[in-house]
A = this chain, B = another copy of it.
Amino acid sequence: MSHKLREVIRNISVDCVIFGYEHSTLEVLLVKRDVEPYAGMWALPGGFVKKGERIEDAAKRVLAQMTGVTDTYLEEIGVFDELDRYPLWRVFTVGHVALISPEHYSLHAGVDTRDVQWFPIEKIPPLPFDHSKIVAVALEKLRKRVRYQPIGFEILPEKFTLPQLQRLYEVVLGKKLDKRNFRKKILSMHFIQKLNEKDKNGIRRPAYLYTFDKKKYEKLKEKGFVFEL
């Protein structure tokens, strides 16, 4: 990338905070930097915006190149502009977040996978630049968002169980929820549909599988609601 510096806008970059949900925890996707500064450190996937390129396209491009993650809806979370955030010269970066379902992607397809890894949010290594700040802002936005919009569709497998969805909410909200009230509330919104299948994987009593009703899900996301338990 750096060998094409003349193609890029040298003072504007993008960074992506990709959240995934697996093993009952929230995880963030990090890549090992292969260029200076901070080569060798784990960092958010990011890079400079090219001349003639839209910011969102830059974020998608960078993400695909560095991690193999494609077709993701990236949401802007703000500009990070501390004067010395980039040590060599002044760079403004536009932060983005996305939620994805880890199982849908083979990370960095075809390239060395050791350089791309999921990290549980409580075990994120020290990050270069202001990347810790960016992750913190992304997480805060996610926590606010969950109260007013449905989540899960982007981050859970296509078929999922209610206990899975509940754990996702618990992880994001950071508190335990009452099983019965959670089910009642979620089901009353009708954005998920029960299937006639059960989850085989569990070694306990199998749970019923559900899928998202994408139309109703998107409508609720537009309209907003209130989730308080």
A144 near B76: Cβ-Cβ < 8 Å: no
Residues of B contacting A83 with CB < 8 Å? 52, 54
Q: Scoring A residues 143 to 171 as 1 if CB is less than 8 Å from chain B, else 0, what string do you get?
A: 01001100000000000000000000000
Residues of B contacting A92 with CB < 8 Å? 12, 55
The complex places the Cα of A83 from the Cα of B54 at a distance, in Å, of 7
Partner of A79, one of B76, B147, B148: B76
- Distance to closest chain B CB from A39 (angstroms): 27
Residues of B contacting A226 with CB < 8 Å? 226
Judge whether A224 is part of the interface by a CB distance below 8 angstroms.
Answer: yes
| Closest CB pairs A-B (n = 9) | A226-B226, A55-B81, A79-B94, A76-B78, A54-B81, A79-B79, A55-B79, A12-B92, A52-B83
A residues with a Cβ closer than 8 A to B are 9, 11-12, 51-52, 54-55, 76, 78-79, 81-83, 90, 92, 94, 144, 147-148, 224, 226
14 A-B Cβ contacts within 8 A?
A9-B11, A11-B11, A11-B12, A12-B12, A12-B92, A52-B90, A55-B79, A55-B81, A55-B92, A76-B78, A76-B79, A79-B79, A79-B94, A148-B148
